[in-house]
A and B are shown apart, each in its own frame.
Chain A
Amino acid sequence: GAGVSQSPSNKVTEKGKDVELRCDPISGHTALYWYRQSLGQGLEFLIYFQGNSAPDKSGLPSDRFSAERTGGSVSTLTIQRTQQEDSAVYLCASSKTGTTNEKLFFGSGTQLSVL
């Protein structure tokens, strides 16, 4: 597609429920990234995909968080048993090959609110 697409744009859920967030990167981009933006914390790296594998998942905050990427394209970030502290904007980005000097292209994010 023309840009990085994320869905849903907004998600309200109850504490304890599972949620799935979707990211559709720019067509042909092999590298995909998930970041989280919360008040007071700024932007935090969660996970990086190169193709379908995740060389770096060091930013995932707990084992309730998982992500996968299939077909080298769409990625889903799953949060199990959501907690109020999971409330944040979850941003996805992609780049062409993932080399260090490439610009990242970000989606508009999913605003997650856990009640």
Chain B
Amino acid sequence: KQEVTQIPAALSVPEGENLVLNCSFTDSAIYNLQWFRQDPGKGLTSLLLIQSSQREQTSGRLNASLDKSSGRSTLYIAASQPGDSATYLCAVYPGSGNTGKLIFGQGTTLQVKP
């Protein structure tokens, strides 16, 4: 059974710092891995999607890497800003079927202090 774990559960950093969020998954047979952002009381916003054949994806100050064989992904946020404060969720799309059944981690809640 696929399980997704995110460490740390919470993180507080001063503005301007570079930071890394970690995601691990138990079954390397995945179609893709996605990183989402969730603001309090809101839905999820897709940040980056890495296909299983890719190693990384970049969008602005965000860079996500994927090491499928070791079951790990990282989300790197450069020059963090208070507006980056949110919960970050990673999710994997299992490598069987086509059912929209993303498996989510519990999330990392990030606070960036001015």
Which A positions have Cβ atoms within 8 angstroms of B?
A: 4, 31, 33, 42-45, 48, 55-56, 58-59, 91, 93, 95, 98-101, 103-109
Contact = CB atoms under 8 A, between A and B. Distances in A.
A55 B107 CA distance: 28
Contacts of B91: 43
Interface of B: 31-32, 34, 36, 41-46, 49, 51, 89, 91, 93, 97-107
Nearest to B102: A45
Nearest to B94: A100
A95 B51 contact: no
Contacts of A58: 99, 101
Contacts, number: 63
Contacts of A91: 43-44
A108 B100 contact: no
A100 B93 contact: yes
Contacts of B31: 100-101
14 contacts: A31-B100, A42-B106, A48-B100, A55-B99, A58-B101, A59-B101, A91-B43, A98-B98, A100-B98, A104-B102, A106-B44, A106-B45, A107-B43, A108-B41
